[in-house]
Structures are given as structure tokens and as C-alpha cells.
């Protein structure tokens, strides 16, 4: 993580400080400021300005006024956004260390710090002058009795995991091939204590995982099938929960080469679903959540190389289903289908898959939310949606009505991998549903996984979407 965070017992005038406050209640301030400063502070509060800046030779103090939103979710998001906004002041004054002191009745220290940390993320690996480009802020201290260590540590676990997911998405495929991705996953397993098994091409061939192998045919780099497992003693679930992530390290579209201008430019993000579930495993293991969780990541690039699978081909999937390939750019559902079939062997109580699956999901929700659908109980869906609001990765449910399945009928095979001209996100979901026999939810993160320009604390490029959502869901599970 780029920023170090700790709890402190000292609240020292020699430290740079951000004091969180409510406009209505400035009684605390007389202990800190002289009468001129107090006058200025009251004026700022009255003028509806979001923060006051009180510089002294010994240290800087910012007083941050926090807004109340319409809902708890909105109020927390206001705090995250405010925390991120303060970063530009911190950068301007080249502040390296700052203490967040709470004098607000709204308990928003954690979301405020969360916004600061998420916004302070940088991916500078490929810059020669990265040390000049590095943000000044290195350390945040928190001074607030009501913040308990456990919640802070859980927050730090999930933020660390979010940065890992962002890094994985930001890595171009020139570095992050399917085999390299597996190496990264293995080293995360070692560091955070979950088990990692990697199937190579031979093993994938022996299992006849036809979806993964077909997508891989146009590539000169072999595919991988990664299995991550977190099984702590005293896990509270009898049957495992399985996470599945689309791990297409680069999507050219294959022979159905991507038709939209420039749409290939950011297709290194096509493993963002995999990054989300791997990131979630990191957070879960780091926080030692008492749940048995397995994570499956089918991974390859999708290219139009010499032997590439072609539109019109009929392929046989891992579960035996024959699929007429009508578009090689609809590759995500093929690799996911094999993983969803593999998941059956665990008799899972719940399966959650994350994928940058369709442009249609990005068109529907834009970058503001995640489209989801599935067969899990209403109760599970409600809990997921609550987590979506809690972490502000909001969910929109789409239906899996049987009529959509009609679009997948093929003249020569069991199904085809392409639906009609409308509802492409749902027909992709219907395709996946065919390979499930357990409670399941599918999250199409195509819109929120990757941003072309930054949005508050979400940086340009990989956002790490899904990690905070999943972790919140499992914390409450």
C-alpha cells in the first residue's frame, strides 16, 4: 500500500492535523485556536465552505466539515470523497504525515481515511522518474477513541487488497500473461496464507476444458486454471463458497477482431473480474475471516493467431455441452463456463462470478454501478445490495427470464455463444446459467472496472471494483 496508517494516542500541536468537525458544533475549537483563528473558523462554517486551513510555523491544521447525505451510504461516501479532496491540499503543501483527529458527532473517521488512502494510490512502475512523481503523503495517524483496532485493521486489509487488484489490472499483458498472472497469485498465496494450485495447459487438456482451450488456440502463450483456497479452522460454512473471476489477460476479440475504434486499447482490463476475486481472497485471508472460500480463475489471452478458433466452429465444453461459436469476442463466457462447471465438484452453498463480460453492461450502468443477476435466494441478493451501498459499489439487478435463453438456440449445437442484437448482458448471463446447478450470482463489472479518467478516489485505469464489495459481504456473512 502507498500509505501507512496507524492509530495514535497523541494529538500534538506539532503534528499536521485534519480535524473532522460538524459546522453546528465548534465548542471543541477553543482548546486549539486563538480568537482570530476561531473567528475565521466560524466564518468558514457559516459560509458553507468545506474546510478551513490554519497554518502555523510548527504545523498545518485543516478543519474539515463533514456533510450529511440522504442516507448512511451517502454520508459515508461524502466522507470518502472529502478525504480524497484533501489530498490535493496535502500534495500542495508537500505534507508527508498527517493525523486525523475526530471532533465530529458523525463517526466518519474510517470512511474519511478510506477516501484518502484509495485516492493516494499510484501505479508508477513503468516511469523512470517515479520517485519525483510519487505523492508526498506517506503516513496517516488516526486519533479517535471510538475507532477500534479490529475495524481499522479490516479496513487496511481490504484497502491493501484493493490496491493489489488495481495493480493487477494496470499491469499490461506485456508483463501479465496467463503464466505470469499465476506466479503473482502464487506469491500472494504465500504472503497471505491461502493455498494455490495451478493447472497448466497439459492438465487443462486432460480435463477437456474446451472453453478455455478454444479461446487459447490463437495465442502462443499457454492458458492457466488457478485454484485458490482459504480454509481456516472453525470455518462457519459447511459447504464452501466459490468465487470465479474472468482472467482474460488481453482481449483482441480473436478472429472477430474488436470492431469498435480504440476499444482494444484498454483490454488489459479484461482480467478485472479475476483481480476482484483474487483481491477478495487476499483481504479475507489477511483478516482471517472464518469462512471456507475457494476461488477459480481461468486465464488466457484471446488472439487471432494462426490456429485461432473461428466463428462457425462447434466446440465441446468441459461439461460436454456443444457450443456453436458465433463470435470469438464473446470469449469470457466460454472460459467462465468451464470454471462454473468445475465449481460443481465442491457442492458449493453459493457461487459468485465477477467478469468484464459485456459492453452492454457498461452501456447500461456506466461506471457508476455493477450489473448483476443470478439464481441465489432473494435474501442473498438483498445482502449483496446492502454491501453495494455500504462500500458504494452499487448493484443493479437484471432478470434471467427464460425468454432470453431462446436467443442462444443454435441450428447445429446445444447452444451458441451469442444472443440477439439486444440485451447482450442478459444473454451472456443466460449462457453462464446453463453451466450452474447451485445458488449463483453473476456480476458484470465491465463499466466500473476501468476508468479512462479518475473519478474522486477512483483513479484512472483499474479501480479494484469488487474487492470492497465482496469483503463487506463476507464480513456480514
User: Minimum CB separation from Zn ion for residue 389, in Å?
Assistant: 28
Q: Which residue has the cell 488481453?
A: 250
Minimum CB separation from Zn ion for residue 254, in Å? Answer: 7
Residues paired with 442 in a beta bridge: 353, 373
Identify the CA nearest to 369 among candidates 389, 390, 393. 393
For Zn ion, the binding residue among 144, 329, 393, 433 (CB under 5 A) is: 329
Number of residues that bind Zn ion (CB under 5 A): 6
**C-beta closer to ligand BES: residue 100 or 330:** 330
CA end-to-end span of the chain: 26
Residue 360 contact among ligand BES, Zn ion, none, beta carbon within 5 to 8 Å by kind: ligand BES
Instruction: State how beta strands 247-251 and 350-355 pair.
Output: unpaired
Nearer to ligand BES, 315 or 446 (CB): 446
Among 184, 270, 301, 461, binds Zn ion (CB under 5 A): 270
* Gap between the Cα atoms of 59 and 63, Å rounded: 13
Q: Is 42 part of the annotated catalytic residue set?
A: no
CA–CA dist 86, 20 (Å, integer): 12
Residue-wise DSSP of 107-138? --HHHHHHHHHHHT----TT-TTHHHHS-S--
Alpha-carbon separation of residue 326 from 251, 355, 363, 420 (angstroms): 16, 20, 22, 11
Measured N-to-C along each axis, helices 109-119 and 149-170 cross at an angle, to the nearest 10 degrees, of: 20
What residue 104 binds from Zn ion, ligand BES, none (CB within 5 to 8 A, per partner kind)?
A: none
| Active-site residue (options: 183, 258, 344, 381) | 258
In angstroms, give the least distance from the CB of 356 to Zn ion: 6
Alpha-carbon torsion (44, 47, 51, 55), positive or negative: negative
Catalytic residue among 141, 166, 333, 416: 333
Stretch that binds Zn ion, among 189-197, 250-258, 287-295, 405-413 (CB under 5 A): 250-258
* Residue 80 known to be catalytic: no
Cβ 172 to ligand BES, closest distance in Å? 15
463 binds, among Zn ion, ligand BES, none (CB under 5 to 8 A by kind): none
Among the candidate windows 40-48, 329-337, 390-398, 439-447, which touches Zn ion by CB under 5 A? 329-337
Report if residue 319 touches Zn ion, rule: CB under 5 A: no
Closest to Zn ion by CB, 17 or 246? 246
In angstroms, give the least distance from the CB of 201 to ligand BES. 21
The Cβ-side half-sphere exposure at 68, using a 13 Å CA radius, reads 9
Shorter beta-carbon distance to ligand BES: residue 227 or 326: 326
User: Residue 446 touches which of Zn ion, ligand BES, none (CB < 5 to 8 A by kind)?
Assistant: ligand BES
Q: Is 301 in the site for Zn ion (CB under 5 A)?
A: no
Q: Which residues of the shown chain bind ligand BES in the complex (CB under 6 A)? A: 251, 253, 270, 327, 329-332, 356-360, 362, 418, 424, 446
Beta bridge partners of 193: none
Using rule CB under 5 A, residue 251 touches Zn ion: yes
- Binder of residue 327, out of Zn ion, ligand BES, none (CB less than 5 to 8 A by kind): ligand BES
Instruction: Name the residue among 363, 368, 373 with its Cα closest to residue 389.
Output: 368
**Cell numbers at residue 111, please?**
470512511
b/e map 96-117, b = 16+ CB within 10 Å: eebbbbbbbebebbbbbbbbbb
CA distances from 303 to 149, 214, 308 (A): 48, 11, 7
CB atoms within 10 A of CB 236: 10
Minimum CB separation of residue 376 from ligand BES in Å reads 23
The binding site for Zn ion (CB under 5 A) comprises 248, 251, 270, 329, 331-332
Q: Which residues are catalytic?
A: 258, 333
Amino acid at each position: 500500500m502507498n500509505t501507512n496508517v496507524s492509530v495514535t494516542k497523541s494529538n500534538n500541536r506539532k503534528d499536521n492535523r485534519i480535524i473532522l468537525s460538524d459546522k453546528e458544533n465548534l465548542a471543541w475549537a477553543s482548546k486549539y485556536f486563538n480568537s482570530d483563528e476561531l473567528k475565521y473558523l466560524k466564518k468558514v462554517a457559516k459560509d458553507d465552505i468545506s474546510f478551513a486551513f490554519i497554518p502555523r510555523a510548527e504545523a498545518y491544521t485543516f478543519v474539515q466539515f463533514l456533510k450529511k447525505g440522504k442516507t448512511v451510504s451517502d454520508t459515508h461516501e461524502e466522507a470518502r470523497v472529502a478525504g480524497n479532496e484533501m489530498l490535493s491540499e496535502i500534495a500542495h503543501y508537500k505534507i508527508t504525515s498527517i493525523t486525523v483527529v475526530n471532533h465530529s458527532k458523525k463517526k466518519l473517521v474510517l470512511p474519511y481515511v478510506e477516501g484518502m488512502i484509495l485516492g493516494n494510490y499510484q501505479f508508477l512502475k513503468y516511469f523512470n522518474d517515479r520517485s519525483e512523481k510519487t505523492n508526498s503523503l506517506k503516513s496517516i495517524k488516526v486519533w479517535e477513541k471510538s475507532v477500534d483496532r479490529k475495524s481499522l485493521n479490516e479496513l487496511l486489509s481490504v484497502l491493501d487488497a484493493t490496491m493489489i487488484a488495481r495493480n493487477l489490472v494496470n499491469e499490461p499483458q506485456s508483463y501479465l500473461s496467463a503464466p505470469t498472472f499465476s506466479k503473482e497469485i502464487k506469491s500472494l498465496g504465500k504472503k497471505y496464507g491461502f493455498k494455490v494450485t495451478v493447472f497448466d495447459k497439459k492438465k487443462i487438456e486432460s480435463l477437456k476444458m474446451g472453453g478455455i482451450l478454444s479461446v487459447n488456440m490463437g495465442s502462443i502463450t499457454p492458458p492457466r486454471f488457478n485454484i485458490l483456497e482459504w480454509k481456516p479452522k472453525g470455518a462457519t460454512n459447511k459447504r464452501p463458497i466459490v468465487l470465479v473471476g474472468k482472467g482474460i489477460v488481453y482481449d483482441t476479440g480473436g478472429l472477430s477482431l474488436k470492431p469498435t475504434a480504440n476499444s482494444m486499447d484498454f483490454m488489459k482490463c479484461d482480467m478485472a473480474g479475476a483481480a476482484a476475486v483474487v483481491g477478495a481472497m487476499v483481504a479475507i485471508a489477511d483478516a482471517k475471516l472464518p469462512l471456507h472460500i475457494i476461488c477459480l480463475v481461468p486465464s488466457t489471452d484471446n488472439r487471432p493467431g494462426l490456429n485461432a478458433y473461428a466463428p462457425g466452429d462447434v466446440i465441446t465444453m468441459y461439461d460436454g455441452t456443444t457450443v456453436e461459436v458465433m463470435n470469438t469476442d464473446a470469449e469470457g463466457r466460454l472460459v467462465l463456463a468451464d470454471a462454473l462447471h468445475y465449481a460443481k465438484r465442491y457442492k458449493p452453498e453459493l457461487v459468485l462470478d465477477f467478469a468484464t463480460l459485456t459492453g452492454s453492461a457498461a452501456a447500461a450502468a456506466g461506471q457508476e454501478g455493477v450489473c448483476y443477476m443470478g439464481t441465489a435466494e432473494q435474501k442473498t441478493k438483498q445482502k449483496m445490495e446492502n454491501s453495494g451501498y455500504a462500500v458504494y459499489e452499487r448493484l443493479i439487478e437484471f432478470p434471467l427470464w427464460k425468454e432470453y435463453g431462446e436467443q442462444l438456440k443454435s441450428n447445429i449445437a446445444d447452444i451458441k455463444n451469442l444472443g440477439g442484437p439486444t440485451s447482450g448482458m442478459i444473454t451472456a448471463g443466460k449462457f453462464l446459467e446453463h453451466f450452474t446447478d447451485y445458488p449463483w450470482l453473476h456480476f458484470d463489472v465491465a463499466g466500473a472496472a476501468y476508468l479512462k479518467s479518475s473519478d474522486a478516489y477512483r483513479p484512472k485505469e483499474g479501480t479494484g471494483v469488487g474487492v470492497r464489495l465482496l469483503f463487506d459481504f463476507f464480513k456480514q456473512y
